[in-house]
A and B are shown apart, each in its own frame.
Chain A
Amino acid sequence: MEPVFEANLILSTLLFTIGILGVMWKRNAISLFMSVELMLNAANLAFVSFAFQLGLLSGGILVLFIMAVAAAEAGVGLAIFIALFRVRRHIRVDEQDLLHG
């Protein structure tokens, strides 16, 4: 295994972990979002590394899909947050628990 490939995977794992922790600990919705983006991009990095390493095209194509999904997600998500902010005057996710049992 090439050291670059290994390094890429380690970086991807780190990014993903940071993303996960961010999703779980951050209270601000925007920060949450950023963390999600981190996770997505960590996955992208892993895909691209494997694609490069194995010489397969599909990994690269999946990355394009993920980017499209991430863009769409960002659009919808931000719209929701804006709407939420209008009502609540804040976007702290830990206080949005209307759906509790």
Chain B
Amino acid sequence: MIDLVWLFPAIMALAALINGLGCRKLGKTAGYISVAAMAATFFLAAGIFFEVREAANQTAQQAPTAVQDPGNDPELHRWNNLTDAQRLQKAEQYAFVRTDPENPRPWDTSVRGGMGGHVPLWTWMEIDGVLGTDRNLTIDFALHVDQLAAIFLLFVSFVGTLVFIYATGYMREKHNGHVELDPGYARFFSYLALFAASMYILVLGANFPVMFIGWEGVGLCSYLLIGYFFDKPFNEKLSCADAGKKAFIANRVGDFGLLLAMFLVFWGLGTLDFQHIISMLTNGGEVLPAGFAFNGTIITAVTLLLLLGATGKSAQIPLFTWLPDAMAGPTPVSALIHAATMVTAGVYMLARLNVLYMMAPVTLVVVAFVGGATAFVAAYAALTQRGFKKILAYSTVSQLGFMFLAMGVGAFAAGIFHVFTHAFFKACLFLAAGAVIHALHHEEDVFKMGGLRKKMPKTWFAYLFATLAIAGVFPFAGFFSKDEILYMVHSAGMGNPVFTFLWAVGMLVALFTAFYMARSLVLVFHGRTRMSEEKFNHAHDGVFSMTGVLIVLAVASLLVGFLNVPSGIMQLPGNLNAMFHNFLEPVTDRGALHIAQTVWGYTGEAVPYGAVVVGEVTTQDGQLYAGYHGPELLLAVVSVLIALAGIGLAFYLYGSGELTASEKLARNPVLKPLWSVSWSAWKWDDFYEAVFERGAMIFYGAVLWVDKYVVDGIVLGCGRVSQAFAAGFRRLQNGQVQVYGLLMFVGVCIFVVYFAIGLVTFLADAVTSPAEGEAATEQTESAPAAAAGEEVSINLDPSDESAVFETAEATRTGAGQ
């Protein structure tokens, strides 16, 4: 089954191709093709997931030492330099699970230790002697399935399928009783399918370059989809096409970090394969160059550059500004970007490379601060927004900040779990928002909504569930994932006041989240309506493809949290506690275990629950390092209370449907500056505009000047010179045949005179030269004689010089004859 994993991108790319080529002729079929393709990948993902789980369980039962760990063999790190015979021998020695006898690969081992299944498809690049060194670079187009990838496949395909189904309903509108598809219907579904294909490649890529294809692919598709209504304006400043460009350019800034990190990794380790890199870092102590040790300079640089890439893709400070504008696309796109694809890519990459990050504690702190700051900034900006989707967009940025915060304290599994639950409730929120906007004919201002609960009960129900989930109310999904993160950060803080500060920020953000989400819920669905009666009466739930999806997602937002119930909160029978975490542990806590063992002298076999910073790990001097487990239950109760407080505050301020209370707050002289900071989203966009746009404009002005006066000066100067010549010569061509005739005649005369002179001199020469001609002939004949050794003295005679000169002259005249 794992060998079929290439089908994921292939199916979606095929669907994209069919839809892209078929275009308008396909009509409604376009939607069905994409939905069918996506659903097929979901079933595949389910199959893969169970296979990975089975393999993981089996290998977990085996004694861990039964199979020698290939990662300890330094020769395997030079796999590309081995001969085929050596490769075969290694393959037998380590009993690679999926060994292709033709071309065995080192990392086809088991799922144990997070190595997973390696599916090389073909050799992509093969370079002998990179840049004049003796290093070889072989890059396979290889896919890799492990627990992390399986989880991503599962929820991307699940949420993706639901979003696709929803889009079939969303992208058509009823006009006078008959259903009308959006003019770009097939194009839209083609992009969606391509988006999914790119995301699959990103998740499955076994090395940096393959992941980079997917990485760029999702960037491209987000550009295409955000700018889907490319001919329409988005707000006062931007058109939809501009919003697409903004997303793309912000991502390009991040991509440059990713590329530099790739180069550094290859430069230092000589490979780009993830498993190879991880294995080298965890086992190959002696083959590692300096700088790749724990807290080494290069590994810190690499992780920081990767972080830059991740901030672009996952919308973190400093590159988050594209995401609030990404809602320029149709709502299903927003749901897809914010929930399942695109923004999860950065988080995914951090988790995939957790070993690198664990080896760079400086970067980890940076990650935590980036996450915490983003969570706070975005949540604060969301407090006062009026655009329905804008609130949700800032909430996504804020939630992504939470995920980064988790990664920053080493709790990679907790971060991934938040990605997982967030995918469900954020998709639900966006799709519900889309249903409302659709029903109100593209009204997005929440201040002009209200009271829709009675008109759109199913949408309200879904939105309510998702709101409770994101606010972190027990027992919804967000409670478990967010609480896990806050708990991890809090526990990390026991050893470090910096993290305690971040925990406090996290709690504040949780309060904000509960408030602004409840605020949007109240403003849209509760209280008195603030829109025209006619519009209100026309509002209704969407078609079944929309409401059905919403209800599925709402129920999912209630249930998926139970996949990862920490034992500190609730004891479940059997091994039902922390299922999600235990499943991911071999991958996501690999770095933590490695650091615990090598740096802090941890000797246990099992990975401590949570990350190193939380686990019961003692430092070398015998002290507990963050060995303190925070009071998990107490923290959970506190965070639920905070969430309820936020919700209550929102109901208190907006519950009536009148905006007087909130407006009074906004006009309060003390709160007014705070309000405007939030309303303008910290003026972050204006800041970029002032610094980068103006700066760029000044620079471009200089370039323009050079181009205009230097480059153009040279080019135009050439033209002017020939024009000046032409202006003189054109007078000759006056169009009068007789003048041409005259010129011709003059020319002929000149020729005649010239030849006449030549003839006269020739004849004169011919008359006077015969004597000299004879002397010359004598001289030329003497040369062979001299060669024969006779009369050598003649050649030495000084008078010869003139003779030779005359010979040359005579020869010339002779040739003239």
Contact = CB atoms under 8 A, between A and B. Distances in A.
Interface of A: 20, 23-25, 32, 93-94, 96-101
Given A20-B745, A23-B741, A24-B742, A93 B730 contact: no
Contacts of B65: none
B808 interface: no
Contacts of B741: 23-24
B734 A100 contact: yes
B359 to A, nearest CB: 78
B730 A101 contact: yes
Nearest to A27: B738
The B interface is mostly helix, strand or loop, or mixed, namely: helix
Interface string B700-744: 000000000000000000000000000001111111111001100
Interface of B: 729-738, 741-742, 745
A98 B732 CA distance: 14
Contact of B738 (A93, A98, A99): A93
A97 B738 contact: no
A73 to B, nearest CB: 14
B347 to A, nearest CB: 72
Contacts, number: 34
Contacts of B738: 23-25, 32, 93-94
- Pick the 3 closest A-B CB pairs, nearest first: A97-B735, A100-B735, A101-B733
A99 B731 CA distance: 12
Which of A93, A96, A97, A101 has most B Cβ within 10 Å? A101
**Which residue among B730, B732, B738 has the maximum number of chain A CB atoms within 10 Å of its CB?**
B738
A94 B745 contact: no
A98 B733 CA distance: 10
Nearest to B731: A101
A94 B736 CA distance: 6
B745 A96 contact: no
A69 to B, nearest CB: 18
Contacts of A100: 733-736
Contacts of A96: 735-737
7 contacts: A23-B738, A24-B741, A24-B742, A93-B737, A100-B733, A100-B736, A101-B734
A96 B736 CA distance: 6
Given A24-B741, A24-B742, A97 B732 contact: no
Contacts of A99: 733, 735
A24 B735 contact: no
B101 to A, nearest CB: 80
A97 B745 contact: no
A97 B736 contact: yes
A17 to B, nearest CB: 11
A51 to B, nearest CB: 22
B736 A93 contact: yes
A25 B730 CA distance: 23
A98 B735 contact: yes
B749 to A, nearest CB: 10
A97 B733 CA distance: 9
A101 B728 CA distance: 11
Contacts of A94: 736, 738
B745 A24 contact: yes
A56 to B, nearest CB: 22
A23 B740 CA distance: 11
A25 B745 CA distance: 13
A21 to B, nearest CB: 10
Contact of B732 (A20, A24, A101): A101
